[in-house]
Structure 1
Amino acid sequence: MRIDVLSIFPDYLAPLELSLPGKARAKGLLELHVHDLRRWTHDRHNTTDDTPYGGGAGMVMKPEPFGEAFDELGVDAGTTVIFTTPSGEPFTQALAHELSTRERLVFACGRYEGIDQRVIDHARERAEVREISLGDYVLNGGEVAALAITEAVVRLIPGFMGNPDSLVEESHEDGLLEYPVYTKPKEWRGHEVPDVLLSGDHGKIAAWRHDQRVRRTAERRPDLLAASVVGEWEIVRGTPADAGELLTLQRACWVQEATHNDFFAHPALHEDVAEVLAWMAEWETWVVRRAGRLVGAVRARLDGDAWEIGRLMVAPDLQGSGLGRVLLEHAQAAAPKDATSYVLFTGAASFANQRFYQRSGFRLRPDLAGPAYGVVMSKPVRRKRR
């Protein structure tokens, strides 16, 4: 990969000689060039900015230096030009992966009030253009963003990481944040390493780490759980437009429940679209689609300090695929910090359902009153000790 950076403060990019980018250059995986934009100015003051048309505060970076730089550097259809700007698309790990597949990146770092729009329009005529923002805040210039994006992208170049498995469980790789990590000593200032990490049971360790990732994401970045991808399943929030298909799915699922329990009065079998819309307004609802078809759903809400989970549904032809487990984990991960337990109910004669929930840590609660044909199951919310 080749990276070119255009800036009026080239010394700002000196850290690119260090750490990961420097290592990539040493391996021959990266060719890096930082250019002073003033090279392409022609007045004695090396002017790169001027007052904005239409008036207003601040200065705007002139188009001519960028145009000549693009010409000399050979910016063409094989180049991706990146304009770092607070008005761009958010930078994400997925975008870092996408950019790591490019042969050449050119960063155009703006200053002041930004770069003349015609520079961006012209770049689009000759190359791929991406306008990228680090976040919802404003910096003095684009150099900090160029540094951050470069480091995130370079470490993903094939052959760079000595152990590629180290990338797999990092934050944001699959929509979840990374689990907490520990090293020696076992005890430090009254804080101990969790026992499970000392157990030697790799299955339990893997399960604990996954649980910690889900919980950390729910606590710190619940927005990531609004639309997450787990394996082949993309889970998104349900909308009123889904009500008709939810009605169809729940009728299909509750026919099975009714048959197992010899109870055909369950509301899920008799609701209409208006009633589905009514409960969607009261419950947080998530759905899964495959090939455009709604094939799974679950809902949840806070009742006191209990996170109530319900209407866990998987299309009959996909039952046994693992989708139910994914939906159940997603609903648990979305529990607010005030929740101390998860609660749900299932049919008293739905023994397969009961075993499914028990494998996820739920236990029968005969002390709690359930629906006419059902039993209540619950599970405590366990959060990482601080």
Structure 2
Amino acid sequence: MTAVPARRPALRVDVVTIFPDYLAPLDLSLIGKARADGILEVAVHDLREHAHDRHRSVDDTPYGGGAGMVMKPQPWAEALEAVVAKAGPTERPRLVVPGPGGAPFTQAMARELAQEPWLVFACGRYEGIDERVLDHAREDLGLEVSVVSLGDYVLNGGEVAVLAMVEAVARLVPGVIGNAASLVEESHEDGLLEYPVYTKPDPWRGRAVPEVLLSGNHAAIAAWRHEQRLARTAARRPDLLHPSLGDAGLEVRLATPADAPELHLLMLACWVSEAVSNDRLDIPALHESLDDVVTAIAAHRTWVARRAGRLVGSVRTSVRTTATGADDLFVGRLCVAPDQQGRGLGRRLLALAEDDATDAIRTVSLITGARSERNIRLYRKAGYRLLPGPPQIAGTVELVKRRRTGA
């Protein structure tokens, strides 16, 4: 009988530390189950196995003086070489080094790391790891090295950060979370915090569940939840709420004809993926000429977002009259550069477009591809609902959101 080959894990994780027992929680809960199911492979390595003196020392005093000790390069080099030696000729893991001087760990970074097939975490201690180890990993071992900070504070070592990062990354790997829909409406997935949640009994100690959640009106519930997300974000994290806040490198303004060449290229880059998702090439944005973009800037209110000078996002609006004679704000050409997606910029641009409507406008609508699941998910989370019936344009869906105004 032919042996069935072992299932290849979706994500392989190696952790190098001087405290292997610190990583024991990775045997528990959903992460432990994913390991047992073969979806996730985790191996923990003791750095001291690569220390060769009788005390198995891995640290020494810093050159230049100063308090504390520095982790020695030789044990780290040998440990990383031993891990990489398990790779095939073309396989190379990504090395993640937790440290307060690194890039902030965010949900967007968790999604990025979840796309990697193999991650190696290096848990530093004391004053950190000799910098030459990182140089060796990049230059001699050919690894991509990322120094990552869990937050603006200092820990005794990298193990706590690795536990948090592995949990955040692994739960995004397909199959780890049983109900993938639970990943959608969570804090930081689109730049807003999560809405409050309730369960039985009702009432509890004199406190009732909000009536709208008992109504069975899914559109009203979606609108209420979106309002709660906005209110909670405004109260707890106002830096996330507006495109110009919390991102010193981001500039959002109305477009001018000078923006047209970059905007034309941005739309082509964004709608190529839409064409692939929807298996169609007759998407208008793919066929607009540069002159068409210049004309559109003059005819519609168009915003562009620039980060460090580069145009990374845009949205345009126009007012149209519906069949009932009411005014509707139509949102179009919402796009974010592919490498900038997942940071909440699309949601912020959408909110900016919505805020531009006058009180007399009672609805906001937009159109997207019928197979553009990521877009539809974003819009529904923002309070939009799918219009029933056949679409105006074949292969698309139209979504509408009723505005709450004083009019």
Instruction: Using structure 1 for the length normalisation, give the TM-score.
Output: 0.66
Counterpart of 1:88, as a letter, is: G
Q: Gapped runs of 5+ residues in structure 2?
A: 1-10, 260-301, 321-328, 335-348, 365-400
SS at match of 1:31: strand
In the alignment, which of 74, 79, 87 is matched to residue 69 of structure 1?
A: 79
Q: Which residue of 1 aligns with 2:68?
A: 58
How big is the shift at 1:345?
6.3
Q: Map 1:1-386 onto structure 2 (within 5 A).
A: 1-74=11-84, 78-125=92-139, 126-227=142-243, 238=251, 242=253, 245=256, 288-289=304-305, 292=311, 314=317, 320-321=330-331, 326-327=351-352, 353-356=360-363, 359-364=402-407
Which is greater in Rg? 1
How big is the shift at 1:195?
0.2
Contact 1:80 1:102 in 2 (8 A): yes
Query: Aligned partners of 1:150, 1:156: CA distance in 2, in Å?
Result: 10
SS at match of 2:330: coil
SS at match of 1:121: helix
Seen in structure 2, the aligned counterparts of structure 1 residues 56 and 186 have a Cα distance that, compared at 3 Å, is: same
Counterpart of 1:22, as a letter, is: G
Counterpart of 2:404, as a letter, is: G
Contact 2:195 2:228 in 1 (8 A): yes
- Structure 1, 320-329 or 47-56: larger mean CA deviation: 320-329
Contact 1:134 1:145 in 2 (8 A): yes
Query: Aligned partners of 2:45, 2:355: CA distance in 1, in Å?
Result: 47
Contact 2:317 2:331 in 1 (8 A): no
SS at match of 2:145: strand
Q: Which residue of 1 aligns with 2:262?
A: none
Query: Aligned partners of 1:66, 1:17: CA distance in 2, in Å?
Result: 25
Counterpart of 1:10, as a letter, is: P
How big is the shift at 1:165?
0.7
Query: Aligned partners of 1:67, 1:294: CA distance in 2, in Å?
Result: 42
- C-alpha offsets along residues 152-178 of structure 1, whole Å, 9 cap, x if unaligned? 111111122211111000111111111
SS at match of 1:188: coil
How big is the shift at 1:355?
3.9
Q: Gapped runs of 5+ residues in structure 1?
A: 229-233, 249-285, 297-312, 332-343, 347-352, 365-386
How big is the shift at 1:326?
2.9
Counterpart of 1:69, as a letter, is: A
Seen in structure 2, the aligned counterparts of structure 1 residues 87 and 315 have a Cα distance that, compared at 3 Å, is: farther
How big is the shift at 1:246?
11
Query: Aligned partners of 2:350, 2:15: CA distance in 1, in Å?
Result: 47
Q: Which residue of 2 aligns with 1:336?
A: none
Q: Let me know the Cα RMSD of the aligned residues.
A: 3.4
SS at match of 2:173: coil
Query: Aligned partners of 1:245, 1:179: CA distance in 2, in Å?
Result: 37
SS at match of 1:320: strand
Query: Aligned partners of 1:44, 1:188: CA distance in 2, in Å?
Result: 62
SS at match of 2:331: coil
How big is the shift at 1:214?
1.6
- C-alpha offsets along residues 118-168 of structure 1, whole Å, 9 cap, x if unaligned? 011111122111111110000000000000000111111112221111100
How big is the shift at 1:328?
5.7
Seen in structure 2, the aligned counterparts of structure 1 residues 354 and 160 have a Cα distance that, compared at 3 Å, is: closer
- Structure 1, 98-107 or 36-45: larger mean CA deviation: 98-107
Counterpart of 1:151, as a letter, is: E
Query: Aligned partners of 1:60, 1:227: CA distance in 2, in Å?
Result: 41
Query: Aligned partners of 1:59, 1:160: CA distance in 2, in Å?
Result: 39
Query: Kindly, what percent of the aligned residue pairs are identical?
Result: 57
